Amino acid sequence: MANNGINASYLGAAQLVGLALSAVSTAAFGFMSTPTYIALALSFVVFLVLLQSANLLLYFLRKLVLAIPLLLGVCTLIFILIELSPGDISSKFFNPNVTPEVKALIEAKYGLDRPAIVRYGIMLKNIVMFDFGRSMSQERPVFEIIAEALPNTLLLSAVTLLIIFPTGILLGTVQGVKNGRPADTGISISSLFFYSMPSFWLALMLQLIFGTYLGLLPFSGPYDLNAFDQTGWQHFIDRCIHLILPGLAMGLASAAGTARYMRSSLLEVIRQDYIRTARAKGLPEGVVIRKHALRNALLPIITLMGLSLPFLFSGSVLVEQVFAWPGMGRTILLAIFEQDTPLIIACFFMFTLVVVAGNILADLAYALVDPRIKFD
Amino acid sequence: MTAIVKRKAAKPPTQAWAGMAIPGLGHILTGKFTTGVGLMLIVSILAWAAFAGFPIVDQVVWPWPNGLVRPELERARPLSWHGVVSVLGFFVIAGTTWFAAYRHARPKEQTEAEYNSNRAIFLRKFTSHNTGMLGLFGVLILVIFVVLAPMIATFDPITTGAGNVSAAPGMYVPPARSGVEFTEARWFLMGTDKYGRDVFSRVLFGGVISLTIGLISVTLAATIGTVLGATAAFLGGAADRAIMWFVDMLLSLPRLVLLLAITGMFRLTGTAGIYLIVVILGLTGWMGVCRIVRSQVLSLKQQEFIQAARALGFSSPRIVLRHLIPNALAPVIVYCSLAIGSTMLVEAGLSFLGLGVPQPIPTWGNIITDGKDSLINAPWIAIFPGLCIVGAVMSLNLLGDGLRDALDPKLRGR
């Protein structure tokens, strides 16, 4: 049993503070800067300190080891897909004026003349070395491209998480408390409206309303065009303003989903005996909801937090395209259009890594806050 | 033993007979507002199709599969198979609506056994579920628009130059010497796009493609998922572990990204592109069904009726197909009605990125892409197909919620 007396809210707060810190420092000091690393490392250290239990650490490590065949499987699947598809990057250089010798030279340059099994071996070696080789379409190391794009997507995802969970939990709690009343129905219908909306259409509508008609917020891009003239604070505020619309476009649908989850989870908890006991001993309703019901109802939401990462990354492909946001979504789309094998593989590797990490964190957090879960 | 008692039919209220004249009026008068408004909407769409649509069925050429790739066919304009289907569909839908409204307005006698049958309980639960019925009517209206698309559409969805370029919604009267080919006033309900095509007609035919893709690919996914899930649970051991490992691997990739990789690498033009999207969406959407069926079959396998079937010496395929799968289907049906909506969203996303259905063929995602390019000058191109997606997906979600509440005994009475 892992009942080590840790309060659920500490862990959630630690995660959120870590994410917020890294988001803020990324916004303030730019991509891949030292403060970002420090903030991320700090949140991880807080997390490990909160673990406190050898069992949990073992569980954590076993999950990590199990993730390795999964990552290799994904990369193999994508490699097979690329091999099966017609054409490769060299085909864009081919035209009737290119002689066979030049054609062979181009193929040799990208290593496409070697047999597939050799290229598969090179790919595996690159993945193990965490190097990923050289991008064919952009003619520079893949690692460099990813290092530029990934922080942008992580920043957007962190802001989206900060929009999704407070909003969703608040709305869901209101719905659960006011079950069956007009407030519940109203929130239900409006959240279903956002839940059924394609994120890219919502992005276009937000651009239209806030960017064009009201003129309140910037239309697109990660920062202002004259960002290089700005002082530190101006730049920070500018970046925050540019995050609002993409964050809303990605977050509103998931916030609606979270509210639905939260509502049913709270209704489930409210029917339990211990809530009746709390009411019977004369506690005010606010205390019953806050101290007794809400904490237990939050348990499934913690899992949802980790599981929402794949949806965030899927959403990022569409929303980044609308807002011209230089993140992983745009990178992977470009790589696919250019049939840039090393970049595609690296993108998929990073995507899967983030998703697997999210799953592990969700499992772990759930196991940590719910003493009923055993692991061995 | 329960005695078979004839339940007395409730006396129909006098107002209910108003439904004989106009389906829906009787329901509204007797207080069933949702049902009444839904029926009225269906009837008004049918009336519109009958009066506005019949004259133009032979003018609208269904672009797929023949019209698009062979422009020389455009001059002939034959009555297409889709036109024939839509005229037949008109009579089928109209007849069914009137019959259902009549039967529903007039309660019929039923025995005690009939009253307590699963089907009757499900129907009572579902018809008293307000939002579920709202979703059902939304889906019905969507289906009617889709079936009657050639009758309702006012212009050809593919041919350019139905009106001026990027004309706002409303009536358009061409001024003299304007250079456009037509001289009479034309009515564009949702405006025109940058090639002068009528957005309303494109949205209608886009609905045909989007809904068809959603339905067929979810059916495919449900079939694959059910077979694999039942196999995994029934066989157990290594087969179970292998299948579930594969499911976990596919689930750990964001679906849209996997789809991007596949459709980006195998790109086809024309009709073949639609079939490719259907198959690929089906092949990447079965994991949820697989998990549901597996967990259902795992719990069903322990029950007495399966042991009885084993004791009777039935073969494994027979036990799986005749006993396990039918009993595991209820959550699959609910999942599918929710999955159609999400599949339509994914298809719209793919088409929006230019990796879905190839361009001149209208789908809701494609039309939004057209609208993205002229968002500020002609916002109506992007707004209307998006509203259609929201309406369709919302109806499907409401229907799925209603079905779940009516089908799942655990949630009954909540």
What confidence tens digit (pLDDT) does each residue in A104-150 have?
A: 888 888 878 888 888 888 888 888 877 788 888 888 888 888 888 88
Strand partners, B110: B7
Tell me, yes or no, whether A136 lies in a domain. no
Same domain? A25 vs A102: no
Domain total in chain A:
2
Same domain? A218 vs A296: yes
pLDDT tens digits, one per residue of B284-315: 889 989 998 898 888 888 888 888 988 998 88
Give me the pLDDT at residue B76, please: 45
Kindly report whether the peptide bond that precedes residue B65 is cis, defined as omega within 30 degrees of 0: yes
Buried b (16+ CB within 10 A) or exposed e, B4-34: eeeeeeeeeeeebebbeebbbbbbbbbebeb
Residue B387 has pLDDT above 90, yes or no: yes
pLDDT tens digits, one per residue of B208-221: 888 888 989 999 99
Give me the pLDDT at residue A18, please: 66
Tell me, yes or no, whether A363 lies in a domain. yes
* Record: contact B264-A337, CB cut-off 8 A: yes
Of A131, A159, A189, which residue constitutes the final position of a domain?
A131
Same domain? A117 vs A203: no
pLDDT tens digits, one per residue of A217-231: 888 888 777 767 777
Residue B379 has pLDDT above 50, yes or no: yes
Same domain? A95 vs A58: no
Same domain? A48 vs A104: no
Q: Which residue has the higher pLDDT, B4 or A310?
A: A310
Of A99, A131, A163, which residue constitutes the final position of a domain?
A131
* Record: contact A205-B265, CB cut-off 8 A: no
* CB neighbour list of residue B196: distance below 8 Å, 6 or more residues apart: B160, B161, B162, B163, B164, B165, B167
**B-chain residues within 8 Å CB-CB of A336?**
260-261, 264-265, 355
Mean pLDDT of chain B: 79
**A-chain residues within 8 Å CB-CB of B353?**
317-318, 321, 333
Instruction: Give the chain B residue nearest A268 (alpha carbons).
Output: B414
Structure token digits, residue A135: 């991008």
- CA angle B283/B287/B290 to nearest 5° reads 115
Same domain? A94 vs A124: yes
Q: Which domain holds residue A276?
A: 6-86+142-369
Same domain? A18 vs A119: no
Residue B56 has pLDDT above 70, yes or no: no
* Record: contact B253-A313, CB cut-off 8 A: no
Can you give the CATH number for the domain in which A250 is found?
1.10.3720.10
Q: Which residue has the higher pLDDT, A171 or B359?
A: A171
Same domain? A123 vs A20: no
**A-chain residues within 8 Å CB-CB of B248?**
70
pLDDT tens digits, one per residue of A281-333: 888 888 888 888 888 888 888 777 777 777 787 778 889 989 988 888 889 88
Residues in chain A: 376
Tell me, yes or no, whether A376 lies in a domain. no
Tell me, yes or no, whether A195 lies in a domain. yes
Tell me, yes or no, whether A104 lies in a domain. yes
Same domain? A125 vs A204: no
Structure token digits, residue A104: 């062979």
* CB neighbour list of residue A23: distance below 8 Å, 6 or more residues apart: A155, A158, A159, A162
pLDDT mean over B179-183? 62
pLDDT tens digits, one per residue of A332-361: 888 888 888 889 888 888 888 887 877 777
Q: Do the beta carbons of residue A332 and residue A317 sit within 8 Å?
A: yes
Measured N-to-C along each axis, helices B81-105 and B130-147 cross at an angle, to the nearest 10 degrees, of 150
Q: How crowded is the C-beta side of B29, counted as CA atoms within 13 Å?
A: 15
Name the minimum distance, in Å, from the CA of B136 to any CA of chain A. Answer: 16
> Other CB atoms closer than 10 Å to residue A218's CB: what's the count?
20
Q: What are the angstrom distances between the C-alpha of B177 and each of B180, B181, B182, B187?
A: 8, 10, 11, 20
Tell me, yes or no, whether A353 lies in a domain. yes
Same domain? A42 vs A189: yes
Same domain? A111 vs A217: no
- CA angle B266/B271/B273 to nearest 5° reads 20
* Record: contact B253-A359, CB cut-off 8 A: no
Tell whether ipTM is more than 0.85. Answer: no
**A-chain residues within 8 Å CB-CB of B372?**
204, 322
Confidence of residue B66 (pLDDT cuts 50, 70, 90): very low
* Record: contact B390-A197, CB cut-off 8 A: yes
pLDDT mean over B84-113? 76
Same domain? A189 vs A122: no
Does the CA dihedral A223-A229-A233-A234 come out positive or negative?
A: negative
Instruction: Give the chain A residue nearest B398 (alpha carbons).
Output: A192
Tell me, yes or no, whether A82 lies in a domain. yes
**pTM of the predicted model, to two decimals?**
0.82
Tell me, yes or no, whether A375 lies in a domain. no
Give me the pLDDT at residue A202, please: 93
Burial (CB count within 10 angstroms: exposed 0-12, middle 13-18, buried 19+), residue A42: middle
